[in-house]
Amino acid sequence: MPPIVRGYILANNHSSPLIKFMKRESNKPQNRKSNSNIGTGLSIGIAIGTAIGVSTDNIGLWLPVGIAIGLGIGSASARRKKRDELNREE
C-alpha cells in the first residue's frame, strides 16, 4: 500500500522536499491552549452579539461587534495565560 502523509496517498515512494517538510512539521507538538481561548472568546462574542442584535432588531450591526469583542477577550485571555505560565517558570 502506498504511504499516507496527512491524508494524501503518495503514488510512489520518492520523497520530495515538500513531503519531507510535511513529515517534519507533523511531528511538532501543537499548542492548542491559546487557540481554545480565542475560540471560547469568539463563541461568547457571537452569542452576545446575536442576543443584542435580535433584541434591538439590528443583527447586522451587533453580530460583527460581538465577534470583535469576543476575539479581543479571547486574545487577552490567551496572552494572560501565556504570561502567567512564563512567570511560573521563573
Tell me: do 49 and 85 sit in the same domain: yes
CB atoms within 10 A of CB 64: 14
Tell me: do 46 and 81 sit in the same domain: yes
The pTM of the whole model exceeds 0.75: no
Q: Is the pLDDT of residue 21 over 90?
A: no
- The structural domain count of the chain equals 2
- State the Cα–Cα distance between residues 19 and 33, nearest whole angstrom: 28
Domain that holds residue 3: 1-30
- State the Cα–Cα distance between residues 77 and 31, nearest whole angstrom: 15
Residue with more model confidence, 52 or 26: 52
Tell me: do 72 and 83 sit in the same domain: yes
